[in-house]
């Protein structure tokens, strides 16, 4: 078993052990075992970065073994500059979520911790799979632990939110399965992605495939107008579920566009780029305006996530090295920033049991340390230079201005809208005099919460100040992808 397999199966195996053997009466021991398992899973991913050759564009550390011989399905894994950071981000966020739920989750602790570890391994599998059927299995399997996390540990309407999440994402995936079967037949019985990338496909076939993949990936991103499931799910999900959903699971759809839509149907991707750009701008502007109207902190950050992910799809479909790299950087930075925002809301909710902005006011007077971290994450969410939130958005805006001035101009309005809704929320929650007894009785963050906030703050600042390690890893793979997409497959 190579490093890629270990990155997938170690958290899954340890998660299953915790679920099977853990008991509520041994909750303290379960928490420590889960933390050790998450740290071990993260440690396994670090050699992937240390041994990665940034000059090489293709797949590295490849593992390829026959799996289902009759249908020519292989257990085929590989990592390149596009997927590497998402593997590391997934394992990193899992450690953070385990620590964040340390004292908050008091019932079925073993199932909660086990579910996140299993989910972590499945999401890593999505980023590493080079066989389409293997990708599909991992892609769909991630729904199961997240469905349980929302449905068991969520809020009062958790069952409704869990069903909505499951049905929305599963419905889109049915069309993707049909596309996979078509490509399997058309390639004479192969599920290998590299083989599919070379298939000569007609214009009509590419268009049908493009929209079949769009149905699955747009819902997962989520793009406007199929984004309506996200705010409901975020409101009802436990804090850890919201953090993982925003930081990692939304990236699975965006990643699918790079692995399937663009390289398999390059001509259709160019033909329908205007539609993707239009929908992305609607997400950036319209959903940003919707965020301004929210009275629930989680809903505000959920709509903020839709707007920020609009930059990702906008960057992809301008087919420029700067825009695609910027979109990838935006995906990673959004993982840090949105995860931090949701975990910060969880800190307040654990104390006051309310997400309503009107419930708070003057939190800085009783929780000054926490308010300082919240300000940093709010500024990162606005895209302040020097934070992770700035780098990707700025790269995409620069590429957009080069592509079309008005597209760049409209995209840049996101910086204004982001500052408006984020700072407006911060002002009402944290600044001014203490508004009520709930806020007056708050205690500042403890050592565990301080650790979580500090680690995330360092990640946000590191990426904002020194983004070069991130872009260096991506460059060769992005160039190769765009070179491939630029070549027409039409006869």
Q: Say what the pLDDT of residue 96 is.
A: 92
Largest Cα–Cα distance in the chain?
A: 72
**Which residues on neighbouring strands pair with residue 192, listed in sequence order?**
131
Q: What does the buried/exposed string (b/e) look like for 397-410 if buried means 16 or more CB atoms within 10 Å of the residue's CB?
A: bbbbeebeeebbeb
Check the CA dihedral 151-155-161-166 and report its sign: negative
The pLDDT of residue 456 is 92
pLDDT tens digit sequence for 263-317:
988 888 888 889 999 998 988 888 888 888 888 888 888 888 888 888 889 999 9
- SS3 label, residue 61: strand
Report the distance separating Cα 415 and Cα 21, nearest Å. Answer: 48
For residue 149, tell me if it sits in a domain: no
What is the pLDDT, as a whole number, of residue 43? 93
By C-alpha distance, which of 53, 69, 75, 74 is closest to 5? 75
Q: Judge whether 180 lies within some domain.
A: no
Host H or E run for residue 65: strand 60-68
Nearest CA to 262 out of 460, 477, 89, 113 is that of: 477
pLDDT recorded at residue 372: 92
Structure tokens belonging to residue 246: 């925003």
- Residues 131 and 75 sit within 8 Å (Cβ to Cβ): yes
Give the domain range for residue 332.
272-491
Q: Please state, in angstroms and rounded to a whole number, the distance separating the CA atoms of residues 398 and 396.
A: 5
- How buried is residue 481: exposed, middle or buried, by Cβ count under 10 Å (0-12/13-18/19+)? buried
CA 23 to chain centre: 31
| pLDDT at 57 (0 to 100) | 79
Sequence-ordered list of residues with C-beta below 8 angstroms from that of 307, at least 6 positions apart, any chain: 283, 284, 287, 288, 291, 414, 417, 418
CA separation for the pair 448, 445 (Å, rounded): 8
State pTM to two decimals: 0.90
Whether the pLDDT of residue 491 is over 60: the answer is no
Tens-digit pLDDT profile for residues 18-71: 888 877 777 788 888 889 999 999 999 999 988 888 888 788 888 888 888 777
Question: Number of folded domains in the chain?
Answer: 1
Looking at the domain assignment, is residue 53 inside a domain? no
Look at residue 373 in the predicted model and tell me its pLDDT: 92
Q: By the 8 A CB rule, do 85 and 470 touch?
A: yes
Residue 450 C-alpha from the chain's centroid: 24
Kindly provide the b/e burial profile for residues 79-108, where b requires at least 16 CB atoms within 10 angstroms of the residue's own CB.
Answer: bbbbbbbbbbbbbbbbbbbbbbbbeebeeb
- Of the candidates 342, 333, 437, 432, which has an alpha carbon nearest to the alpha carbon of residue 387? 333
pLDDT value for 154: 78
Q: Which residue has the tokens 């073994």?
A: 65
pLDDT at residue number 489: 64
For residue 23, give the DSSP letter: -
Instruction: Quickly count: other Cβ atoms within 10 Å of residue 194's Cβ.
Output: 14
DSSP label of 259: I
Averaged over 335-357, what is the pLDDT? 87
Decide if 204 contacts 260 (C-beta within 8 A): no
Domain membership of residue 482 (yes or no) is yes
Average pLDDT, the chain: 87
* Residue 186 counted as domain residue: no
For residue 423, being part of any structural domain is answered with yes
**Please, are residues 269 and 260 in contact by the beta-carbon 8 Å criterion?**
no
Q: Is the pLDDT of residue 342 over 60?
A: yes
- In a domain, residue 9? The reply is no
CA distances from 335 to 332, 406, 414, 459 (A): 5, 28, 18, 10
> Residues 6 or more apart from 438 whose CB is under 8 A from it?
352, 354, 359, 360
Position 382 scores a pLDDT of: 86
Residue 473 lies in a domain: yes
DSSP-H helix ranges across 355-404: 363-366, 368-382, 388-403
Beta bridge partners of 79: 60
């Amino acid at each position: 078993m190579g490093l890629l397999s270990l990155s997938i199966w170690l958290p899954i195996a340890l998660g299953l052990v915790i679920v099977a053997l853990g008991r509520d009466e041994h909750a303290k021991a379960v928490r420590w075992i889960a933390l050790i398992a998450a740290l071990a899973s993260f440690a396994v991913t670090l050699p992937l970065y240390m041994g990665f050759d940034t000059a090489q564009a293709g797949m590295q550390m490849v593992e390829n073994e026959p799996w289902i011989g009759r249908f020519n399905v292989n257990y085929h894994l590989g990592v390149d500059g596009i997927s590497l950071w998402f593997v590391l981000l997934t394992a990193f966020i899992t450690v953070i979520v385990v620590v964040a739920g340390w004292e908050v989750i008091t019932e079925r602790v073993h199932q909660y911790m086990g579910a996140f570890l299993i989910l972590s391994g499945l999401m890593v599998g999505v980023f590493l799979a080079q066989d389409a059927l293997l990708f599909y299995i991992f892609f769909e399997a991630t729904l199961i632990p997240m469905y349980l996390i929302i449905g068991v540990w969520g809020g009062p309407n958790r069952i409704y939110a869990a069903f909505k999440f499951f049905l929305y994402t599963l419905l889109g995936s049915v069309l993707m399965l049909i596309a996979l079967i078509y490509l399997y037949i058309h390639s004479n019985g192969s599920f290998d992605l590299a083989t599919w990338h070379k298939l000569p496909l007609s214009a009509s076939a590419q268009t049908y495939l493009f929209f079949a993949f769009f149905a699955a990936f747009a819902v997962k991103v989520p793009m406007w107008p199929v984004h309506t499931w996200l705010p409901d799910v975020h409101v009802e999900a436990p804090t850890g579920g919201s953090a993982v959903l925003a930081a990692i699971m939304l990236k699975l759809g965006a990643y699918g566009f790079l692995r399937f839509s663009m390289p398999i149907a390059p001509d259709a991707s160019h033909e329908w780029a205007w539609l993707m750009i239009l929908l992305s701008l609607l997400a950036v502007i319209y959903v940003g305006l919707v965020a301004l109207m929210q009275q629930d902190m989680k809903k505000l950050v959920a709509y903020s996530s839709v707007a920020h992910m609009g930059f990702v799809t906008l960057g992809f479909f301008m087919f420029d090295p700067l825009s695609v790299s910027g979109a990838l950087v935006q995906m990673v930075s959004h993982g840090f920033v949105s995860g931090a925002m949701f975990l910060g809301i969880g800190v307040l909710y654990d104390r006051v049991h309310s997400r309503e902005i009107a419930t708070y006011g003057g939190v800085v007077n009783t929780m000054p340390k926490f308010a300082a971290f919240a300000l940093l994450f709010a500024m990162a969410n606005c895209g302040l230079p020097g934070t992770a939130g700035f780098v990707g958005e700025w790269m995409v805006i620069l590429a957009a201005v080069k592509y079309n001035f008005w597209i760049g101009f409209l995209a840049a309005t996101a910086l204004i809208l982001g500052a408006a809704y984020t700072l407006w929320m911060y002002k009402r929650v944290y600044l001014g005099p203490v508004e009520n007894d709930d806020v007056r009785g708050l205690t500042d963050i403890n050592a565990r919460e301080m650790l979580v906030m500090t680690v995330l703050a360092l990640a946000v600042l590191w990426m904002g100040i020194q983004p070069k390690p991130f872009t260096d890893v991506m460059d060769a793979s992005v160039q190769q992808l765009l070179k491939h997409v630029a070549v027409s497959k039409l006869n």
